[in-house]
């Protein structure tokens, strides 16, 4: 059979695996064995196309829980041949083998023999030292995929070794390698953050690990935008993981880097990732981690973004960052004013491509305003009323529309805001403060849709 026909046939298998899964996976053993026979061919292009078909199949199996038995059959067949391809003389084949290994199913990986799992990790670490940049980048991508697998999240040795490898690649001359290295680092840091949330970080010495990857992340945040968008993800997680500012010695440089990435630049993914990272940092006792002036640095920047950013996803993520904080200090009134202006400005869509993101922005603004209202002090009321009294009806309209579409489980912030303001209605010393509290509480009045919310909550608690 001619080579062009064979190549087109291999492409077709890959496309069928992606689009008509049941047709391919019902014959997975036959198809996989055939593809493994093909990669023994002498023609590089034929081997490459067979690898790509296997990679697509692996990617599909990775995301379909119902195909776990097929995934095990598939990986038992391809394991040794794919590992051997990492020694192939042609760069493009080694690269394709890395991509295939990166798509291993989490359940399959957990069922591998210990020596097989170690072999995958070892050979992929080896590819990061390959003389060809394409292979180094593919190896880093695969490692960045592996670190998301539950079976490896608690493997301290793997996590520490991955951190070391990523730090080594930060100075790579090839941009593609640095991009994949930053992505792998961000995934590693995200993994560590999740383990912290579940309190499962055992013997990882964060005091040793965090300073090292902190400096690498700051440096990467000044690199190309494609590196920067993941470097800020890593940086946010590192600051979130840090329990004490003395571990990193200088958290101000990290904070300044995140703020700068959020407010400057043409790459919007960098900016909304930086906002997301700031929100993560603000959610975890920022007074213990950040310099004492952090509010003066963070809040003006985020307030400007929610009102004026040309990109609605940036505005939404900036609003989420404000929502993540539980300590606003003297900025409560400024935040109220900025959120009201953000509601007004959301009516003016700077570009048609922002229309799909407008509803998400308004919903987040409603949540953020409710959250800020719950942290408003009685001493703020008179000065706040002087600034926002003319806008109460407009804001109330947004909140009531929001209640019409929100699920009951998301009502918590609105309920807290109303409850806090109702306390001031009863307990404030001055009559004027009680009247202001009553007017503000009316913003968060329940709509008819939630007249039976208390009954629903009580019923759920009983169940």
Q: Decide: 350 and 310 in contact? Cβ < 8 Å.
A: yes
**For position 22, what pLDDT does the model report?**
81
**For position 448, what pLDDT does the model report?**
66
Task: Give the contacts of 92 (CB within 8 A, at least 6 positions apart).
Answer: 44, 48, 134
**For position 462, what pLDDT does the model report?**
45
Q: CATH top-level class for 170-193+205-309?
A: mainly alpha
- Condensed to tens digits (0 to 9), the pLDDT of residues 126-169 reads 999 999 999 999 999 999 999 999 999 878 899 999 999 999 99
**For position 459, what pLDDT does the model report?**
44
Residue 292, helix vs strand vs coil? coil
Which residues of the chain, if any, have pLDDT below 70? 65-67, 197-204, 447-463
- CATH 1.25.10.10-classified regions of the chain: 1-152, 170-193+205-309
Separation CA 382–CA 370 (nearest Å): 18
Place of tokens 């307030």: 303
Say what the pTM is: 0.90
Nearest to 44 by CA among 102, 100, 2, 94: 94
End-to-end Cα spacing for the chain: 66
Q: CATH top-level class for 1-152?
A: mainly alpha
DSSP 131-189: SSHHHHHHHHHHHHHHTTSHHHHT-HHHHHHHHHHHHHHTT-S-HHHHHHHHHHHHHHH
**For position 435, what pLDDT does the model report?**
95
Task: Give the contacts of 169 (CB within 8 A, at least 6 positions apart).
Answer: 128, 136, 140, 177, 178, 180, 181
């Amino acid at each position: 059979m001619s080579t062009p026909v064979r190549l087109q046939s291999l492409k077709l298998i890959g496309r069928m695996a992606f689009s008509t899964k049941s047709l391919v996976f019902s014959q997975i053993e036959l198809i996989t064995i055939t593809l493994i026979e093909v990669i023994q061919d002498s023609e590089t292009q034929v081997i490459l196309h067979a690898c790509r078909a296997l990679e697509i199949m692996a990617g599909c199996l990775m995301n379909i829980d119902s195909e776990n038995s097929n995934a095990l059959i598939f990986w038992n067949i391809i394991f040794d041949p794919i590992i051997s391809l990492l020694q192939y003389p042609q760069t493009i084949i080694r690269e394709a083998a890395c991509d295939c290994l990166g798509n291993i199913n989490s359940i399959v990986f957990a069922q591998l023999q210990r020596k097989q799992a170690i072999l995958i990790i070892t050979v992929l670490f080896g590819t990061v030292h390959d003389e060809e940049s394409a292979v180094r980048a593919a190896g880093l991508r695969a490692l960045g995929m592996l670190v998301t697998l539950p079976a490896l999240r608690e493997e301290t040795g793997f996590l520490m070794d991955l951190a070391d490898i990523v730090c080594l690649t930060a100075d790579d001359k090839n941009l593609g390698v640095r991009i994949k290295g930053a992505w792998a680092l961000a995934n590693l840091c995200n993994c560590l953050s999740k383990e912290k949330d579940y309190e499962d970080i055992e013997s990882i010495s964060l005091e040793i690990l965090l300073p090292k990857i902190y400096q690498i992340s700051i440096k990467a945040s000044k690199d190309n935008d494609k590196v920067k968008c993941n470097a800020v993800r890593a940086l946010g997680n590192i600051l979130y993981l840090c329990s004490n500012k003395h571990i990193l010695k200088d958290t101000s440089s990290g904070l300044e880097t995140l703020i700068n990435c959020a407010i400057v630049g043409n790459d919007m993914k960098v900016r909304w990732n930086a906002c997301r990272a700031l929100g993560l940092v603000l959610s975890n006792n920022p007074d213990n981690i950040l310099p004492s002036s952090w509010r003066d640095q963070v809040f003006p920047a985020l307030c400007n973004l929610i009102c004026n950013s040309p990109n609605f996803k940036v505005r939404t993520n900036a609003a989420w960052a404000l929502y993540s904080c539980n300590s606003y200090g003297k900025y409560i009134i400024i935040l109220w004013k900025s959120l009201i202006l953000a509601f007004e400005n959301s009516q003016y869509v700077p570009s048609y491509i922002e229309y799909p993101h407008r509803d998400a922005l308004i919903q987040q603004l409603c949540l953020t305003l409710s959250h800020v209202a719950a942290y408003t002090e009685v001493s703020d009321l008179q000065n706040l009323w002087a600034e926002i009294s003319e806008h109460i009806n407009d804001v109330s309209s947004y909140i009531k529309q929001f209640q019409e579409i929100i699920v009951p489980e998301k009502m918590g912030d609105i309920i807290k805001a109303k409850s806090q303001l109702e306390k001031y209605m009863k307990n404030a010393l001055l009559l004027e403060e009680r009247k202001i509290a009553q007017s503000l509480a009316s913003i968060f009045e329940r709509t008819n849709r939630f007249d039976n919310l208390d009954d629903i909550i009580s019923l759920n608690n009983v169940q």
